[in-house]
Amino acid sequence: MTLHTLNKTPHESNALQDCLAALSDGDALLLIENGVYCAMPAHAELFTRLPGGVQCYLLQADVQARGLSDLNPEFRGIDYDDFVTLSCRYEKVVSWF
């Protein structure tokens, strides 16, 4: 199982689309940097058909930096320590940028 990190907004590049297409059952998705904008409610539809058991996270420091709130509740806020813990829990980390 894989931890996917994504650091682009949905409109910045095709990274989000490529990443979503590459998810397998049981993978995790972590939004970092500009990727946290993907959790804005307007994009919620994109995350309604994820493969089974995919956990969604976002880096809280990047959310706070950008003044975002009321984000998609599918995403759980985490810190850098959690990011490392997730990197250990999943077998590999794939970065989408």
| Residues lying near other proteins in the complex (CB under 8 A) | 2, 5, 7, 14-15, 18, 21-24, 32-34, 51, 59, 61, 80-81, 83-85, 87-88, 92-97
- The rounded distance, in Å, linking the Cα atoms of 53 and 33 is 24
Alpha helix locations (H) across the chain?
A: 15-21, 60-65, 80-89
In terms of CB distance, is 70 or 88 closer to other proteins?
A: 88
Closest separation between CB of residue 82 and other proteins, Å?
9
CB 5 within 8 A of CB 80: no
Amino acid residing at 64? Q
CA separation for the pair 21, 15 (Å, rounded): 10
Q: Nearer Cβ to other proteins, position 45 or 70? A: 45
Q: Would you say 5 or 55 has its CB closer to other proteins? A: 5
Minimum CB–partner distance for residue 60 and other proteins (Å): 12
